[in-house]
């Protein structure tokens, strides 16, 4: 090394700089990724070049004179791109000796990859090209999976890999991963289990809604089922599952399915809220506005079906979503103001998709970085949304049943009121006419009830009426109808009456039960009953006619001293003490 001392100073400086540049890579160039583990996120090792003119070729890239300068991703690796922009990716992999005995896979998660062309170096030189993407049939994939994956067979020397991607929208380099076969299979299995649970749960919710809708003949539940089904199907394209499993040979349909299903979700959700919030009952103006908006969404949906989906841009879809959500919230707030049952819970359920959408927007804008987890978030949030919707719908059904039960029952005794009794009497009459049976109508009036109220008060009187109702119900058959029609008056309708002995048996049993002492608030109370009986068809064709006849027969018992039974028009059949 003594000869260096004889060199000029300027030459020494040149040699030093050359040595430095040989040791230290040029600024901005990526270091080869040393591969010796199972799993890598490639964002820190990828370089990209945006080919606005879409004219760059692999031959130009490998030619040092014509190769453009690649850039390193910044921050979260989000590339803000115009629609249908070509991006070239470059990565250099250096496999350790242990890694060279395995097979690795580059996986492209996310979506919107219209055309992907990967160029892998061959051992003998040159590059191997493989073409796939959303605009090609699903069988044109190297790995038979919903997402895109490319096999990398490690070589002893560093491997320079290029990828040309025609992307539909923005691109996130965080979605590009490298993993070995074992890790890839483990992730795929977990992913399959999650999908099975997600879609199984959503199918269950859909069947729940359809079953209730068909059983109750309520179109609101069918709207709800349509909404959940459209939402579940909308999740499929984001995972690549829909394209891979449902329409693998129809890439054209894959381009239109997202706006189609998105509009279906808007329509289904708005119909569900509109129906369950009963908007047409309390807010006609808002109901009319909602119907007009639904018609407009239907026109947009029809345009998608007719192949005009190109006119529905991402910004327009965002606007449709925003207006639909605002109308849904307005429907809910109006329902809250008019005290529609369960309007408050529905309001909070409706807020869940808004919060998820805001999270997606924040992720897209780079304010937060959850990467591909946004798809999983969508799934979990939609399942929670669907289940909460189902729970509140079930509660609403129960509440409506309770309200209907209260409306159909006497508030004190719980017996059916006269309106329900009249409806059931018509069915009883139809059966009686078919089998030529007679029907008995018993009009029961309590004896000595007024003194109970006067002596012990109305609270004791109410308790007595409840116990009377229980004793009358226990004295007749399950198929017989019992109702409280006023103060201390009850009505019994006995079907399948065949002979006169049935009158005596039932009437005597009722009188015996009501003659036994009642114990109310430690007070022993004794009353009785007067019963008038009318028979169909002898004493009338309608319930009003039969009740009038039975009422007259009951007053015959009262005039004769009470506590007995009389059949209308047959005084000789009076039964008494």
Catalytically annotated residues: 488
d(Cα 449, Cα 520) in Å, to the nearest integer? 13
Is the Cβ–Cβ distance between 277 and 331 less than 8 Å? yes
Say how far apart CA 256 and CA 229 lie, in whole Å. Answer: 17
With b for 16 or more beta-carbon neighbours within 10 A and e for fewer, the 179-206 pattern comes to bbeebbeeebeebeeebeebbebbeebb
Give Cβ neighbours of residue 534 (< 8 Å, ≥ 6 apart): 440, 441, 443, 540, 546, 547, 549, 550, 553, 567, 568
- Rounded distance between C-alpha atoms, residue 205 and residue 176, angstroms: 34
Residue 125 has φ and ψ, to the nearest 5°, of: 110, 160
- Is the separation of the CB atoms in 439 and 428 below 8 Å? yes
Nearest-5° angle of CA 109, CA 114, CA 120? 70
SS3 414: coil
Tokens of 466: 């409840």
SS3 state of residue 573:
strand
Match 């004179």 to its residue by tokens: 65
CA nearest neighbour of 461 among 469, 470, 453:
453
E strand spans, 499-551 = 518-520, 523-525, 528-536
Neighbour count for residue 123 (Cβ, 10 Å): 10
| Selection from 50, 54, 49, 58 nearest residue 30 by Cα | 49
Distance between CA atoms of 528 and 530, rounded to whole angstroms? Answer: 7
Asked whether the beta carbons of 440 and 494 are under 8 A apart, the reply is yes
**Per-state percent for the chain, helix, strand, coil, to nearest 5:** 55, 20, 25
Of 175, 40, 184, 44, residue with least CA distance to 109: 175
Bridging pattern class, strands 78-79 and 113-121: unpaired
**Helices 543-559 and 418-435, packing angle to 10 deg:** 100
Phi, psi for residue 389 in degrees, rounded to 5:
-60, -45
The answer to whether the CB of 240 falls within 8 A of the CB of 146 is yes
Q: Exposed, middle or buried, 236 (CB in 10 Å: 0-12/13-18/19+)?
A: buried
DSSP strands (E only) in 37-84: 39-41, 47-51, 78-79
CA atoms of 528 and 576, how far apart (whole Å): 11
| Contact present, 510 and 472 (Cβ < 8 Å) | yes
CB 355 within 8 A of CB 349: no
């Amino acid at each position: 090394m003594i000869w260096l001392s004889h060199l000029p100073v300027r030459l020494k400086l040149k040699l030093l700089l050359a040595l430095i540049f040989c040791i230290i890579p040029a600024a901005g160039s990526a270091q080869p990724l040393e591969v010796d583990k199972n799993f890598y996120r490639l964002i820190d090792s990828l370089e990209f070049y945006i080919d606005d003119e879409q004219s760059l070729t692999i031959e130009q890239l490998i030619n040092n004179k014509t190769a453009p300068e690649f850039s390193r991703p910044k921050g979260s690796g989000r590339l803000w791109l115009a629609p249908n922009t070509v991006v070239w990716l470059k990565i250099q992999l250096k496999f350790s000796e242990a890694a060279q005995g395995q097979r690795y896979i580059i996986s492209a998660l996310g979506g919107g990859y219209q055309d992907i062309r990967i160029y892998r170096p061959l051992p003998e030189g040159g590059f191997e090209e493989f073409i796939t993407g959303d605009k090609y049939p699903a069988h044109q994939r190297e790995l038979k999976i919903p997402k895109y994956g490319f096999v990398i067979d490690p070589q002893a020397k560093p491997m320079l890999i290029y990828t040309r991607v025609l992307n539909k929208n923005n691109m996130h380099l965080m979605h590009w991963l490298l993993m070995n076969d074992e890790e890839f299979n483990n992730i795929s299995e977990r992913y399959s289990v999650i999908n099975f649970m997600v879609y199984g749960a959503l199918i269950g919710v859909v069947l729940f809604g359809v079953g209730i809708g068909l059983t109750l003949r309520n179109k609101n539940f069918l709207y709800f089922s349509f909404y959940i089904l459209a939402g579940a199907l909308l999740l499929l394209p984001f995972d690549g599952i829909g394209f891979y499993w449902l329409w693998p040979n129809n890439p054209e349909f894959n381009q239109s399915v997202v706006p189609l299903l998105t509009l279906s979700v808007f329509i289904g959700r708005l119909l569900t809220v509109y129906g369950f919030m009963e908007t047409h009952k309390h807010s006609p103006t808002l109901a009319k506005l909602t119907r007009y908006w639904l018609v407009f969404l239907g026109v947009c949906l029809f345009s998608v079906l007719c192949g005009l989906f190109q006119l529905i841009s991402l910004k327009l879809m965002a606007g449709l979503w925003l207006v639909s959500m605002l109308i849904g919230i307005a429907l809910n707030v109006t329902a809250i103001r008019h005290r529609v049952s369960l309007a408050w819970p529905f309001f909070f359920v409706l807020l869940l998709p808004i919060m998820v959408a805001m999270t997606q927007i924040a992720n897209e804008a780079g304010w937060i970085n959850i990467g591909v987890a946004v798809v999983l978030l969508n799934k979990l949030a939609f399942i929670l949304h669907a289940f909460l919707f189902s729970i509140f719908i079930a509660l609403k059904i129960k509440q409506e049943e309770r309200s209907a039960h209260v409306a159909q029952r006497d508030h004190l005794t719980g017996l059916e009121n006269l309106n329900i009794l009249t409806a059931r009497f018509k069915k009883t009459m139809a059966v009686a006419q078919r089998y030529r049976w007679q029907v008995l109508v018993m009009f029961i009036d309590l004896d000595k009830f007024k003194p109970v109220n006067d002596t012990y008060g109305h609270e004791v009187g109410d308790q007595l009426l409840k116990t009377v109702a229980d004793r009358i119900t226990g004295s007749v058959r399950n198929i017989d109808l019992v109702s409280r029609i006023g103060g201390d008056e009850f009505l019994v309708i006995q079907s399948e009456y065949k002979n006169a002995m049935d009158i005596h048996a039932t009437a005597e049993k009722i009188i015996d039960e009501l003659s036994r002492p009642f114990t109310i608030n430690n007070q022993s109370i004794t009353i009785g009953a007067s019963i008038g009986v009318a028979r169909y068809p002898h004493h009338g064709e309608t319930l009003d006619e039969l009740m009038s006849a039975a009422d007259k027969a009951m007053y015959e018992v009262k005039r004769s001293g009470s506590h007995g039974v009389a059949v209308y028009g047959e005084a000789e059949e009076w039964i008494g003490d």
